[in-house]
């Protein structure tokens, strides 16, 4: 190869519009670098340009993918390829956030900064490998939550704070002799696995999300708000989400090819003009 040819190839590779591969590695990534690998999915999405592909590793990410006014171009979508990755919506319960108010009964009022009625309708704890909704679901039975003193081992409840809007305390009841450290309890701290938002000039368009699983958020696996165009989901799964597998609102437009929904309130529930 001549020096001139090599120079020409280098110029072509550096030209604006050249599709790039962006990688996300939560272990070794660094969000401060320009070309990655990045530590978080959100930074990779913000750095992506039309034609780029964001690659996840086939592992569990305690993270979510948020698209807010992100646009590719016709024929040059921005692609998020999970390669079999799972976006986990829950985190391990932190015993330091809980107070034992009587033997086996724990109170926690610092789980989230804000918690409203809609969240409580969907709420669960992932407890010893199972979703614990206390027999409630957002689009089905909604039994009244128990009083803390009426809880049996393996149950939970929530009591509103009458002095502060959208706040309150959770209660967990454990079996005799058990501690929070003994139990495998996970708290759903993220609202969705993949989330869209944007209206007016800041809408989402020309995006592909594929080969990805969303599990254990307190709301939807794939939550789509605002306006979006030419958004395609391929080979995705929503497993044990607090509400719907996919839920689109307002004027969202999307297609899905290859979708598995297990253990959600519904598989797909779209509203408005979506």
In-domain check, residue 4: no
User: What does each of the 274 residues of the chain score in pLDDT, given as a tens digit?
Assistant: 444 444 444 444 445 568 999 999 999 999 999 888 999 999 999 999 999 999 999 999 999 999 999 999 999 999 999 999 999 999 999 999 999 999 999 999 988 888 999 999 999 999 999 999 999 988 888 889 999 999 999 999 999 999 889 999 999 999 999 999 999 999 999 999 999 999 898 999 999 999 999 999 999 999 999 999 999 999 999 999 999 999 999 999 999 999 999 999 999 998 887 7
Inside any domain, residue 253: yes
- The answer to whether residues 183 and 194 belong to one domain is no
Q: Are residues 36 and 85 in the same domain?
A: yes
Same domain? 64 vs 34: yes
Same structural domain, 97 and 179: yes
Identify whether 165 is part of a domain.
yes
Q: State the pLDDT at residue 272.
A: 80
Does residue 274 fall inside a structural domain? no
Q: Is residue 100 in a domain?
A: yes
Same domain, 65 and 99: no
Residues 258, 207 share a domain: yes
Residue at 3 is within a domain: no
Choosing from 188, 222, 256, the residue where a domain stops is: 188
Closest CA to 273 of 234, 225, 230: 225
- Look up the domain containing 156 and give its range: 92-188
Angle at the Cα of 94 from the Cα atoms of 93 and 96, rounded to 5 degrees: 150
Q: Please tell me the total count of domains within the chain.
A: 2
**What per-residue confidence (pLDDT) applies to 35?**
83
In this prediction the pTM is 0.90
Say what the pLDDT of residue 20 is: 97
- My answer on whether 61 and 39 are in the same domain is yes
Residues 211, 194: one domain?
A: yes
Does residue 5 form part of some domain?
no
Nearest one of 129, 128, 123 to 111, comparing CA atoms? 123
Q: Choose the final residue of a domain: 188, 213, 237.
A: 188
Same-domain pairing of 217 and 197: yes
Distance CA(163)–CA(218), nearest Å, equals 25
Predicted local confidence at residue 16, as pLDDT: 57
Whether residue 195 sits in one domain with residue 163: no
Task: Check whether residue 255 and residue 222 sit in a common domain.
Answer: yes
Q: Which residue has the tokens 């079999």?
A: 84
- pLDDT given for residue 15 in this prediction: 53
Residue 17 pLDDT: 64
Asked if residue 137 is part of any domain, the answer here is yes
Report the C-alpha gap between 158 and 13 in whole angstroms. 56
End-of-domain residue from the set 188, 208, 228:
188
Q: How far apart are CA 25 and CA 56, in angstroms?
A: 7
My answer on whether 74 and 102 are in the same domain is no
Q: What is the pLDDT of residue 8?
A: 46
């Amino acid at each position: 190869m001549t020096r001139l040819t090599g120079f020409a190839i280098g110029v072509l590779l550096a030209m604006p519009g050249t599709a790039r591969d962006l990688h996300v590695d939560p272990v070794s990534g660094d969000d401060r670098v320009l070309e990655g690998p990045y530590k978080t999915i959100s930074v990779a999405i913000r750095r992506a340009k039309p034609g780029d592909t964001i690659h996840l590793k086939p592992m569990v990410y305690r993270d979510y993918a948020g698209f807010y006014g992100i646009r590719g171009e016709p024929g040059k979508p921005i692609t998020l390829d999970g390669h079999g990755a799972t976006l986990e919506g829950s985190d391990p319960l932190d015993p330091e956030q809980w107070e034992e108010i009587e033997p086996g009964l724990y109170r926690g009022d610092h789980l989230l900064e804000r918690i409203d009625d809609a969240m409580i309708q969907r709420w669960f704890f992932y407890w010893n490998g199972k979703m614990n909704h206390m027999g409630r679901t957002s689009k089905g039975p909604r039994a009244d939550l128990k009083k803390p003193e009426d809880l049996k081992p393996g149950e939970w409840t929530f009591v509103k704070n009458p002095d502060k809007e959208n706040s309150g305390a959770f209660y967990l009841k454990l079996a005799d002799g058990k501690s929070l450290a003994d139990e495998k309890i996970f708290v759903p701290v993220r609202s969705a696995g993949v989330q869209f938002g944007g209206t007016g000039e800041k809408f989402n368009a020309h995006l592909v999300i594929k080969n990805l699983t969303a599990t254990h958020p307190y709301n939807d696996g794939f939550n789509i708000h605002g306006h979006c165009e030419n958004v395609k989901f391929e080979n995705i799964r929503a497993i044990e989400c607090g509400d719907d597998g996919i839920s689109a609102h307002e004027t969202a437009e999307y297609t899905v090819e290859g979708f598995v929904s297990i253990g959600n309130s519904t598989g797909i529930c779209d509203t408005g003009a979506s």
